[in-house]
Amino acid sequence: MSREHNKTPEEQLDPSRRRFLNTAAVAGLAGASMSVGLSACNQDSKPASAAPAAAAGHADAAHEGQNPHLKPGELDTYYGFWSGGHTGDFRVLGMPSGRELHRVPCFVPDALVGWGITNESKAVMGTKADGSLKYTVADTHHTHASYKDGNYDGRYAWINDKINSRIARIRLDYFICDKITELPNVQGFHGIFPDKRDPVDPAINYTTRVFCGAEFHVPLPNDGRDLESPEKYRSLFSCVDAETMEVRWQMLIDGNCDLVATSYDGKLAATNQYNTEGGYHYEGMMSAERDACLFVNIARVEEAVKAGKTTTIGTSKVPVVDGTRAANPDPKSALVGYVSVPKNPHGVNATPDAKYFICAGKLSPTGTVIELAKVLDWFDGKLDDIDKAIVAEVELGLGPLHTAFDGRGNAYTTLFLDSQIVKWNVDAAIRFHAGDKSAQYVVDRLDVTYQPGHVNASQSETRFADGKWLAVGCKFSKDRFLPVGPLHAETEQLVDISGEKMKLVADHPVRPEPHDFIIFKRDLLRPKQVYDMNEFPLAVKDQKEAGVFRDGKKVTVRIASLAPAFEPREFKIKVGDEVTIILTNLDKVEDLTHGFAIPKYNVNFIVNPQETKSVTFKADKPGVFWCYCTHFCHALHLEMRSRMIVEA
Amino acid sequence: MMIPQALRGLLLLAALLFAAPLVRADAYEAKLPAELNTAPRLCDYVPCAEVLPGATIFSERKGRPFYVEGYVEEKNGKRLAGYVMLSTDITDIPAYSGKPVVTLIGMDATGRFTGSRILKHSEPILLLGIPESALVRFNQQYLGKFVGDNIEIGQSRPEEDIIGLDAISGATVTVIAQNQVMMSSGAAVARQVGILERTVRPQARLLETGATPDWATLATEGSVKKLTVTPEQVGLPRAAQPFIELWYGYLNQPDVGRAVLGEAGWQNLLARLKPGEHAIFVIRSGGKESFKGSGFVRGGLYDRVQVRQGQDAFTFRDLDYLNLYGLAAAGAPRFDESAIFIIRSDAFSAAYPWKFTFLGNRVDRETGTRSFANFDSEYWLPAQYLDGGRPEVKKPAPPWLRVWQTRRYEIAAFAALLIAVAVVYAQRDRLTRAATRNNKWPVNGFKYSFWLISIGFVGFHLMAQPSITQVLTWFHALLFQWRWELFLTDPFIFLFWIFIVATVFLWGRGLFCGWLCPFGSLSELLYKIGGWVGLKRFQFKLPKVWHHRLKWVKYGVFGGLLAVSVLSMGLAEMLAEVEPFKTTFLVGLFNRSWPYTLFATGLLGLSIFTERPFCKYLCPLGASLAMPTTFRWFGLKRKSECGSCKACAVGCGSQAIDEHGRIDQRECLHCLDCMVLYTDDHACPPLVHERKRRGKAGQPLTPIGADGYYIPIKPVSAAAAQAAAANAATANAPSGMALQP
């Protein structure tokens, strides 16, 4: 334990913390979800923590800083991908302005684009036997993008749905969700991270796998067995193929998974574990002094899968390897290694220099720095104790959660309870941990408002962290914006980290409730301006191909839109028909999107230039129904309609 | 009394000219509907069916550049009849006026011209000098001709595969421009629809040097270029700020692309380019005008910028646009508008020069009307970035050069004539000494020969009669936009003016007016002939008092024209019909409506009876040249006795010698009669007096010196004589005729 080590920095920064830690930490953390003890937490911590941060603010005056505010017509320099929390969406922001540019519907229906309405989106989302959507809620937490050579390559982003344990892939050329995979036999799918290259094949210098961690322990299979035997509940670590989106393999582990990180050499994936105890109430989950960070040796796992050393669970065909301690006694053949980390750690993040993973302590005020080379040494039998891979375990402040990097050797960790960001130097922390008590690893502290969760910096999760901007997702906004009733916006705060001192430069309200995000340079993406018609087998490629095609009770209405008209301008169907409308937008002009709404039939969707979509419904109401364009397109937008005549 | 009668006649003619029913041309500065340039349904506004006979259905504007398809209705549908194009959609080649002749052109489906219609022109010559029908007739020559043929103005040259068209006499510049318009418009459409093969240029093999030039280096080597448009170029008041200042450059070249975009930006761009696609960047570093406009929002097309290579124009759609995220090169200018445009055509090659064009509008300050105005700058990737360097490019000779080439013999002859006149005149002292009052042939032999050549060869054949309109045009060109091409298109006028400007400042305007002006020569020749054929007794001079009043009229005419031209060039050109040159030489006395013919023949008829009435009293060109003549280098010589002796003045045909014996060099036409007398010791009274005195005194007659006197007789020592001779030679050097008999 690191109590001794912690003394000096703690005293140097804030002597009141130790007292607080002992009395209020647990209650305060619980408050994040249970609204218990928060006021006590704030009362205790606020006056104490405000002082050093304010001082820091003054000292910062010398640094000019960067301006996050854009003039009209100026473009942001970074993209930001934000999760949307239990809105279930994936958001695209321009940074540093913080302007929201897009929301990509993935797991839940979206009325704007017709996600969950069109046949194409339903096929991605998954349906029940009757054709209705399998799920309509989701909780997205983490989004990360595909890599090549240690930087984003602009192909894909992935996002998790914690509620229904699904992973969605977003194509970054069109910014649409094109695949959703449901992970079998897990609940609470939380952490997600793509690998950065293949552990074996040097030619594969890009992402081919996405790792997924499941938080909740459940009976395996969860088919009604072991309902009252929590000690038999288990959690799985999953690997999804980046291209096919099939689950490649799963791994039975001890404890649970929280967040996930991957190494730049492709050899290691890790997940921090806060419930190594297998507890099913929070007291149980926080009973152990140390939990763990689980390291997975990718190459060995895949060899095992290849060798058939797998089982399956229930009806799932996914091969499952055994990653429990019991099954992996010998480091030289072990698939996994468990590095111990203090008390309910949250967040595991890879440093841009590719050397370390850092776990934040959450209930422990510490950050744990694990050296990857030593973990690999352990797997090679060169290190007797995997905990010797811990090169630093230093006190940062109360409630450390997530860590970002500036590429200059500094880490920025959110302190949930302190409502602060602490900037600390990783090398100095390692020296301090090694015994150099003069090493001043804490560089700066900044108050944020309030209760920061995730933090990320521009390019922080790549080898090219540029140390320009830091965004922090504050879970509470309280008094920061005009009140709009009991539900508050969250505060995404922007910090200029280009100088020695952090400088808070902007508050952006966001609709609840984003969790994680990444920020990267704008020129890493190559979005397409319009669709390629050839990607749609159903496309109505010419107005001449439009019309009504009947096959018994099944009617296909092929419609082409070309501003300001739909072709055909009217079409007749009969009550009782099963109608499929296929609509292609023949307009080629960028940004010329059309909508298509059918009153009383609960249909609305859009078609972007050169895009094709379809809907299927039962004609159950006779009458005239004006199908009209819902997406402003043309001076004759209001006149852009087609008459659906449903004959009795 | 004949004199007042003649005067009355002159005035009457002038009155007739201005009162005459002036047949205004239909298309001259015609008002065109504003929609003409933008409306998709072009044929709703112009008579497409007229230029594509038979077609009844016309499509909307399509293609880049625009054209319209015309269809014939048939029983089972419609058949493509051909294409109709509006010249200004395709090219903005200016004609003589500096403005394009807006022409609607029809072409059948096989690429043969089916018709054309002049919708609007601003050619002054067609307003007055030449009936507009001449241009219509000229255009009719294209009927049935294939768009891919080599059609040029002038003689057909089968051996060179060139089909010749008959020009319009006196409107060469107009028809040369019109030929370019017809052929390039037709070809632009023919290439789009497949009648002509598309140009495919060999692609550049780009050479990577590994250099990372900064902005200054890029600019110096020409890898990035600037295009500036000033407010006055678009008809706005002058201002310190440019209307728009753009920088642009070619991004496919690795060194240039990396230097401009940075490594990541360039790699990202490359990832988006398919083989054979080219990217250029554009930034606005100054000015308020947008180079994007908003046309691309509605129609998807960027309508303010273009790339041209040879006959091919490359325009950009919204899908050809990428964001330019910043300039990496050190020292790059700040910018507030930017783009990366992609050229998706194998007709474009970076190995060859191309032009970046900003398509603007010029607002006419007179009328407020807007006209297209394109501004371009040429780009050619520096040789070090091209494997094998820049390929040799055979640029088609510009039209003006072709004119110089095809008429080289005439040009040589004309130049020889000009040189001969100058040389002869430079030797005038020798000629005038050789001549006497009774035998002026040593001078006149040359002069009359030049007159005849001038009238026949220069006037009627070459039609190189200088005109006040050229002075006005240059005056305006100096003020607004000087275009060498415009002036070079007529080589004879061009050379003539070089001669005129040079000789006016050397010797005064008299050499041109008196020796070479075709009309002046004709006018005086008629006077001489009149005298020789026995009409001498009817020949007269205006009384001095009237002459000295009326000679100012021509300055008034010139001033008036200049003033009017500032307000309206068109009106000034019209009023310049006060010159009978066009009628006499360019169009022909019998090819014009009667007021013009009457005016010209009247002036020429009057010339038989009085010397050069037009030159003396009306000619604005003479007036314009007379003023700088004040600053001539070498004048004619005078003696102190000239103040009292009136011998020369009496015989001065130009009436340029005043009562004090001074020659008004502005009025003098260099007939050299007075110079003949100057050294004629039987005519010049002081010389006659001295000759007689010496005769009486038995003194020898020494030679007549450069000062026009007998060299005085002074006995001196040999050494002093030598020194004096040397001094005299130096002092009299300008005369070229020092004392060395």
With 90 as the cut, is the pLDDT of residue A558 above it? yes
Q: Looking up tokens 């959609």, which residue turns up? A: B89
> Strand A268-273 and strand A260-262: pairing?
antiparallel
With 70 as the cut, is the pLDDT of residue B133 above it? yes
Tokens of A629: 């364009």
CA distance B48 to chain A (A): 27
Say how far apart CA A442 and CA A428 lie, in whole Å: 8
With 80 as the cut, is the pLDDT of residue B593 above it? no
Residues A508 and A76 sit within 8 Å (Cβ to Cβ): no
3-state secondary structure of A420: strand
With 70 as the cut, is the pLDDT of residue A622 above it? yes
Read out DSSP for A212-271?
A: EEEEE-B-SS-SSTTTT-GGG-BEEEEEEETTT--EEEEEEESS----EEE-TTSSEEEE
What are the helix (H) ranges across B579-619?
581, 594-609, 613-617
Contact A77 B298 (CB under 8 A): no
By percentage, how much of chain A surpasses pLDDT 70?
90
Say how far apart CA B391 and CA B43 lie, in whole Å: 43
CA distance B70 to chain A (A): 22
Q: Across chain A, what does the average pLDDT equal? A: 90
Say how far apart CA A586 and CA A545 lie, in whole Å: 12
Q: Are residues B612 and B644 in the same domain?
A: no
Q: Are residues B611 and B661 in the same domain?
A: no
CA distance A20 to chain B (A): 48
Q: Are residues B296 and B364 in the same domain?
A: yes
By percentage, how much of chain B surpasses pLDDT 90?
34
Choose the final residue of a domain: B634, B662, B687.
B634
Say how far apart CA B563 and CA A162 lie, in whole Å: 85
Which among B271, B272, B319 has the least Cβ separation from residue A530? B319
Assess if residue B205 is contained within a domain.
no
Q: Across chain B, what does the average pLDDT equal? A: 84
Read out DSSP for B462-481?
A: T-----HHHHHHHHHHHHS-
Predicted confidence (pLDDT) per residue in B486-512, tens digit: 678 888 988 999 999 999 999 999 999
Mean pLDDT of B11-27: 48
Query: How confident is the model at residue B127, as a pLDDT?
Result: 65
A588 CB neighbours in chain B (<8 A) are 300, 319
Q: Are residues B222 and B371 in the same domain?
A: yes
Predicted confidence (pLDDT) per residue in A525-555, tens digit: 999 999 999 999 999 998 889 999 999 999 9
Predicted confidence (pLDDT) per residue in A137-154, tens digit: 999 999 999 999 999 999
Query: How confident is the model at residue B40, as a pLDDT?
Result: 81
Long-range contacts of A85-88 (CB under 8 A, 24+ apart): A85/A139, A85/A140, A85/A141, A85/A512, A85/A513, A85/A514, A85/A515, A86/A137, A86/A138, A86/A139, A86/A140, A86/A163, A86/A512, A86/A513, A87/A140, A87/A511, A87/A512, A87/A513, A88/A137, A88/A138, A88/A139, A88/A140, A88/A161
Q: Determine the number of helices (DSSP H) and then strands (DSSP E) in chain A.
A: 8, 39
Q: Are residues B588 and B713 in the same domain?
A: no
Query: How confident is the model at residue A544, as a pLDDT?
Result: 87
**Cis preceding linkage at A365, omega within 30:** no
Closest Cα to residue A167, out of A267, A242, A276?
A242
With 70 as the cut, is the pLDDT of residue B286 above it? yes
CA distance A57 to chain B (A): 32
By percentage, how much of chain B surpasses pLDDT 70?
89
Predicted confidence (pLDDT) per residue in B402-459, tens digit: 788 888 899 999 999 999 999 999 998 888 888 888 888 888 999 999 999 999 999 8
Tokens of A7: 């003394």
CA distance A591 to chain B (A): 8
Q: Are residues B182 and B248 in the same domain?
A: no
Q: Are residues B622 and B673 in the same domain?
A: no
Say how far apart CA A415 and CA A361 lie, in whole Å: 10
Mean pLDDT of B648-652: 84
Assess if residue B332 is contained within a domain.
yes
Question: The pTM is what?
Answer: 0.69
For the four alpha carbons of A193, A197, A201 and A203, in that order, the dihedral sign comes to positive
Q: Are residues B670 and B692 in the same domain?
A: yes
Query: How confident is the model at residue A1, as a pLDDT?
Result: 40
Residues B27 and B117 sit within 8 Å (Cβ to Cβ): no
Q: Beta-carbon neighbour count of residue B4 at 10 Å?
A: 9
Query: How confident is the model at residue A48, as a pLDDT?
Result: 35
Mutate to test the interface with A, among B288, B325, B336, B344 (most CBs of A within 10 A): B325
Query: How confident is the model at residue B507, as a pLDDT?
Result: 92
Q: How far is CA A479 from CA A418, A476, A486, B456, in A?
A: 17, 9, 12, 99
A320 or B548: which leads in pLDDT: A320
With 50 as the cut, is the pLDDT of residue A628 above it? yes
Mean pLDDT of A232-249: 97
B277 CB neighbours in chain A (<8 A) are none
With 50 as the cut, is the pLDDT of residue B735 above it? no
Domains of chain A, first to last: 1-62+404-510 (2.130.10.10), 183-395 (2.130.10.10), 536-647 (2.60.40.420)
Predicted confidence (pLDDT) per residue in A38-84, tens digit: 333 333 333 333 334 333 334 344 446 788 999 888 899 999 999 99
Residues B162 and B150 sit within 8 Å (Cβ to Cβ): yes
Mean pLDDT of A241-258: 97
Closest Cα to residue B96, out of B624, B578, B582, B490?
B490
Assess if residue B126 is contained within a domain.
yes
Sheet-wide strand order for B354-363: B312-317, B301-309, B354-363, B370-379
Closest Cα to residue B635, out of B722, B511, B501?
B511
Closest Cα to residue B350, out of B191, B209, B205?
B205
Mean pLDDT of B77-90: 89
Q: Are residues B478 and B586 in the same domain?
A: yes
Say how far apart CA B722 and CA B534 lie, in whole Å: 54
Read out DSSP for A459-510?
A: TTTSTT---SEEEEEES--TTSS---SSSPPEEEEEEE-SSSS-EEEEEEEE
Q: Are residues B416 and B560 in the same domain?
A: yes
Query: How confident is the model at residue B725, as a pLDDT?
Result: 58
φ, ψ dihedrals at A416, nearest 5°: -60, -50
**For A374-378, B559-563, B618-622, B707-711, which range has the lowest pLDDT when averaged over its residues?**
B707-711
Contact B264 A590 (CB under 8 A): no
Q: Beta-carbon neighbour count of residue B651 at 10 Å?
A: 15
With 60 as the cut, is the pLDDT of residue A483 above it? yes
B115 or A19: which leads in pLDDT: B115
Q: Beta-carbon neighbour count of residue A539 at 10 Å?
A: 22
Residues A508 and A491 sit within 8 Å (Cβ to Cβ): yes
Tokens of B626: 């007379």
Query: How confident is the model at residue A54, as a pLDDT?
Result: 37
Range of the domain at B70: 31-193
Residue of chain A whose alpha carbon sits nearest to that of B271: A526
For the four alpha carbons of B423, B428, B434 and B440, in that order, the dihedral sign comes to positive
Assess if residue B394 is contained within a domain.
no
Query: How confident is the model at residue A37, as a pLDDT?
Result: 36
Say how far apart CA B642 and CA A260 lie, in whole Å: 115
Say how far apart CA B218 and CA B222 lie, in whole Å: 6
Closest Cα to residue A405, out of A468, A360, A450, A346?
A468
Assess if residue B75 is contained within a domain.
yes
DSSP A397: -
Assess if residue B163 is contained within a domain.
yes
Q: Looking up tokens 């020069």, which residue turns up? A: B353
What is this model's ipTM?
0.79
Residues 6+ apart with CB under 8 A from A453: A401, A402, A414, A416, A473, A474, A475, A515
Choose the final residue of a domain: B318, B352, B387.
B387
Q: Are residues B480 and B423 in the same domain?
A: yes
Query: How confident is the model at residue A614, as a pLDDT?
Result: 98
Contact A75 B271 (CB under 8 A): no
Q: What domain count does chain B have?
A: 4
Query: How confident is the model at residue B129, as a pLDDT?
Result: 63
pLDDT band at B112 (very low <50, low <70, confident <90, very high): very high
Which among B264, B271, B300 has the least Cβ separation from residue A590? B300
CA distance B265 to chain A (A): 6
Contact B319 A77 (CB under 8 A): no
Query: How confident is the model at residue A65, as a pLDDT?
Result: 74
Q: Are residues B643 and B622 in the same domain?
A: no
Contact A591 B297 (CB under 8 A): yes
Query: How confident is the model at residue B1, as a pLDDT?
Result: 40
Choose the final residue of a domain: B335, B353, B387.
B387
Say how far apart CA B107 and CA B90 lie, in whole Å: 14
Predicted confidence (pLDDT) per residue in B345-364, tens digit: 888 999 999 999 898 877 77
Phi-psi region of B591 (alpha: psi -120 to 50; beta: other; left: phi over 0): alpha
Q: Beta-carbon neighbour count of residue A612 at 10 Å?
A: 25
With 50 as the cut, is the pLDDT of residue B3 above it? no
Predicted confidence (pLDDT) per residue in B157-207, tens digit: 777 777 888 877 667 778 878 888 898 899 889 988 888 887 788 899 999
Predicted confidence (pLDDT) per residue in B659-709, tens digit: 888 888 888 999 888 888 888 888 888 888 888 888 888 888 888 888 888
What are the helix (H) ranges across B287-392?
295-298
Contact A589 B300 (CB under 8 A): yes
Assess if residue B47 is contained within a domain.
yes
Say how far apart CA B351 and CA B345 lie, in whole Å: 14
B336 CB neighbours in chain A (<8 A) are 73
Assess if residue B425 is contained within a domain.
yes
Interface of A to B at Cβ within 8 Å reads 73, 75, 77, 521-524, 526, 529-530, 588-591
Residues A552 and A576 sit within 8 Å (Cβ to Cβ): no
Which among B268, B299, B318 has the least Cβ separation from residue A523? B268
